[in-house]
């Protein structure tokens, strides 16, 4: 079987990207794409022969230096200088999984044939991807406006034999890797540096990576909430489809349906209830989880559009015989969406912590802090503190980055999106949600044991049995840090498809 994904002009989805990455597929350009890239590059080469007309970024300086004309004999040096001078990233290294995504998305954007880049440059990026040569990129440095300039400069440095990469698990100089494969450094032609550096692939890669994680965590949020509902001896009526059909938000309907399916044939849920109504954190699971799901759907549409777009500048339209300088590199669509996404994820964590709080409160025949001998044992008192501290941090991280802008490049770049900051903090919120849900699962699974001998649904019992193999029941106090870590690992490694 061919393990190669051929990049074509067809639309690609986030699920497609996830499968390509997870299945370890190699990538290659289709003949159609190769032709489009070469056609655009040849057009630009011909256009620049003895051309005296200033064309931004091709034979001029960059940013506020757009009025400085560059002679034809210096066009290659201009592009090389651009890449080197813009490699000003700082801070933590970008996770290697996201760097791999950045490579893929950069190749995808350049493949449409509107960037004037050499075919050999794109194919060298493909070599990096296929050989898992991952440039070292830093989290900080992009304003999310003229594209992700600093991160993409670091992504591009190895093309010149500059900078550092991870290869075979080691951090090495790019020049060593080029020697290893007997590759010569790419000599950039007119406009290539700008094509490489202009673009939204840093923001896009973080957004795609976050959405892939969110898809699984949204499922777990519903499942763990259902277990908490049973542990709290909650009622099933708020999940009746009649309620949701008269307020038919898609996410709300789907959440109620999913939770009911999780709880089908549960003895605990069928057991007569002493109370008439549940707190909001249980009763309003469909409304709160559902609203976040609707945001996830919106964000998925935005990022699908973005990863199928050309985001460098200027754009070259061969058929129209035009080179047009515009602003497709501006990250505003992503910045706003990443902020929205972060808020929606933070809310899943917020309501999860509230359910954890209810479970340890000594209500509905549950012992205080979910241990049989409270007082001597503190039980699950402090994991709720931990969850609360993470929820509070998420509230701080969810403050929108996109409402900020700082003037740069001597006023030429006078409105920026700050989408890169939105991207990095959105991922932190997503990672925090995973921790909060792991703590809720610890509490919910413990609470269920106080409903025995009644059984939950077949599916939930299988899920809990699998969880108990990693995190045993807490009878007496022990170091719960390890349990939290094991719970997080369990959620990360659990394969949903194996149980459905």
Mean pLDDT of the chain: 94
- Coil/strand/helix, residue 166: strand
pLDDT digits 0-9 by tens, 108-125 = 999 999 999 999 999 999
Confidence of residue 374 (pLDDT cuts 50, 70, 90): confident
Any long-range contacts for 30-35 (C-beta under 8 Å, 24+ apart)? 30/6, 32/8, 33/7, 33/8, 33/9, 33/111, 33/113, 34/119
The string of pLDDT tens digits covering residues 43-97 is 998 887 766 676 766 776 665 565 666 666 677 888 899 899 999 999 999 999 9
Please say if the pLDDT value at position 22 is more than 70. Answer: yes
Which pair of tokens denotes residue 29?
């350009």
Mean pLDDT confidence for 278-282:
98
> Which class would CATH give 206-498?
mainly alpha
Cβ proximity of 379 and 473 under 8 Å: no
Q: What is the mean pLDDT of residues 197-225?
A: 97
For residue 404, the model assigns a pLDDT of: 93
CA-nearest of 189, 99, 112 to 148 is 99
Mean pLDDT, residues 411-415: 82
d(CA 170, CA 157) in angstroms, rounded, equals 17
The predicted structure's pLDDT at residue 62: 60
- The whole-number pLDDT of residue 459 equals 96
Task: Give dist(CA 452, CA 80) in Å, integer.
Answer: 69
pLDDT at 335 over 70: yes
Closest CA to 59 of 315, 317, 68, 113: 68
pLDDT at 411 (0 to 100): 78
> What's the average model confidence in pLDDT over 383-407?
96
Please report the pLDDT score of residue 65 as a whole number: 61
Q: How sure is the predictor about 226, in pLDDT bands with cuts at 50, 70 and 90?
A: very high
| pLDDT (0 to 100) of residue 64 | 56
- β-strands 90-93, 134-135 pairing: unpaired
Q: pLDDT tens digits, residue range 153-184?
A: 999 999 999 999 999 999 999 999 999 999 99
Give residue-wise pLDDT tens across range 435-492.
Answer: 999 999 999 999 999 999 999 999 999 999 999 999 999 999 999 999 999 999 999 9
The structural architecture, per CATH, of the domain 4-199 is Orthogonal Bundle (1.10)
pLDDT tens digits, residue range 289-314? 999 999 999 999 999 999 999 999 99
Beta-sheet strands, E only, within 254-321: 315-317
Coil, strand or helix at 305: helix
Would residue 56 show up in a list of annotated catalytic residues for this protein? yes
Q: How far apart are CA 205 and CA 100, in angstroms?
A: 9
Catalytic residue among 56, 114, 129, 206: 56
Give residue limits of the domains in the chain: 4-199, 206-498
pLDDT at residue 1 tops 80: no
């Amino acid at each position: 079987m061919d393990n190669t994904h051929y990049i074509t002009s067809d639309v690609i989805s986030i699920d497609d990207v996830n499968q390509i990455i997870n299945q370890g597929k190699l990538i290659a350009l289709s003949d159609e794409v190769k032709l489009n890239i070469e056609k655009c590059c040849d057009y630009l080469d011909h256009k620049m022969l003895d051309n005296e007309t200033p064309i931004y970024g091709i034979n001029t300086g960059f940013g506020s230096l757009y009025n400085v004309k560059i002679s034809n004999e210096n066009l290659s040096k201009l592009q090389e200088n651009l890449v080197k001078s813009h490699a000003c990233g700082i801070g933590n290294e970008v996770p290697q999984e996201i760097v791999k995504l950045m490579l893929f998305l950069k190749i995808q954007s350049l493949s449409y044939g509107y960037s004037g880049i050499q075919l050999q440059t794109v194919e060298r990026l493909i070599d990096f991807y296929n050989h898992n040569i991952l440039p070292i990129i830093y989290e900080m440095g992009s304003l999310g406006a003229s594209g992700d300039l600093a991160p993409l400069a670091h992504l591009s440095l190895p093309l010149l034999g500059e900078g550092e990469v991870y290869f075979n698990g080691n951090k090495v100089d790019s020049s060593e890797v080029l020697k290893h494969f007997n590759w010569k450094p790419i000599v950039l032609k007119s406009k290539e540096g700008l094509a490489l550096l202009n673009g939204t692939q840093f923001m896009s890669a973080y957004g795609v990576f976050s959405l892939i994680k969110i898809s699984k965590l949204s499922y777990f949020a519903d499942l763990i909430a259902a277990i908490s509902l049973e542990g709290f001896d909650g009622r099933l009526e708020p999940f009746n489809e009649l309620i949701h059909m008269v307020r038919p938000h898609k996410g709300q309907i789907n959440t109620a349906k999913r939770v009911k399916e999780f709880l089908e044939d549960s003895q605990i849920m069928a057991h007569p209830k002493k109370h008439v109504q549940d707190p909001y954190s249980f009763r309003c699971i469909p409304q709160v989880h559902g609203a976040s799901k609707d945001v996830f759907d919106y964000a998925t549409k935005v990022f699908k559009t973005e990863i199928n777009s050309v985001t460098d500048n200027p754009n070259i339209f061969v058929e129209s015989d035009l080179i047009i300088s515009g602003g497709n590199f501006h990250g505003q669509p992503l910045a706003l969406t990443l902020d929205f996404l972060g808020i929606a994820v933070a809310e899943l964590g917020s309501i999860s912590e509230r359910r954890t709080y209810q479970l340890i409160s000594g209500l509905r025949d549950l012992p205080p802090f979910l241990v049989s001998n409270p007082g001597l044992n503190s039980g699950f008192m402090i994991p709720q503190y931990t969850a609360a501290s993470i929820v509070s941090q998420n509230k701080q991280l969810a403050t929108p980055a996109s409402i900020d802008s700082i003037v740069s490049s001597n006023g030429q770049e006078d409105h920026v999106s700050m989408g890169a900051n939105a991207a990095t903090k959105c991922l932190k919120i997503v990672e925090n949600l995973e921790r909060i849900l792991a703590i809720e699962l610890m509490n919910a699974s413990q609470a269920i044991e106080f409903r025995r001998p009644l059984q939950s649904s077949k599916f939930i019992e299988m899920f809990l049995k699998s969880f108990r193999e990693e995190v045993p029941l807490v009878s007496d106090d022990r170091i719960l840090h390890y349990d939290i870590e094991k719970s997080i690992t369990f959620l990360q490694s659990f394969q949903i498809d194996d149980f459905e």
